[in-house]
Amino acid sequence: MTFIRTEIPDVVIIEPTVHGDARGYFIETFRQDKLEHFLGYKINFCQDNESKSSKGVLRGLHYQLHPSAQTKLVRVIQGKVLDVAVDIRKNSPTFGQYVAVELSSKNKKQLLIPRGFAHGFVVLEDDTIFAYKVDNYYSPENDKGIAFDDEHLNIDWILTHDEIKLSEKDTKQPKLNETNYLFEYGVDYYA
């Protein structure tokens, strides 16, 4: 298992070791001890989620406010997505910047998105199955979002605006500079 810091160092790509032969393959998708050693802090995942989507579905950009903030460990079981994490920590040197990583059933990469980031993904193949772990339970009253097409973020979602399919909720998300629901850089949201 290899851990790779991205251009925003708190967002981490995880590449599992694939053991394959004529019968198929085997991978460890999660090792808490190795992840905690790499990160330097404890993490306790408590909920697993899974979605199945058709090509063009965009889910995000979502996050949970403190005290329900969530770290996510995301991966694709079947298909392919472009996965995006946006730094929404005020006064962070990377505030408003994002990391985009292609996750697929072929490359088996995973992305760790820490607390203080908005997360979203766009589905690039039909019948894509997306799975993720979170370290805090979902809280409807702390559920927030940012507009996927915020021109200040300038995210390249690969697909055209006409190809993107959104939920009703995601058509009404505010732009990053229009929300007061953010995180503070330097605050330990794991304490």
Q: Which residues are catalytic?
A: 62, 132
Q: Tell whether residue 48 is among the known ligand binding residues.
A: yes
- Residue 90, marked binder: no
156 marked as part of a ligand binding site: no
119 is annotated as contributing to ligand binding = yes
* Rounded Cα–Cα distance for residues 49 and 131 (Å): 6
DSSP class of 28: -
Burial of 160 (0-12, 13-18, 19+ CB in 10 A): exposed
| Other residues' Cβ atoms within 10 Å of the Cβ of residue 137 | 10
The answer to whether the annotation marks 49 as part of a ligand binding site is: yes
Q: Is 47 annotated as a binding residue?
A: yes
Beta bridge partners of 9: none
Annotated binding site for substrate: 23, 28, 47-49, 59, 72, 119, 143, 165
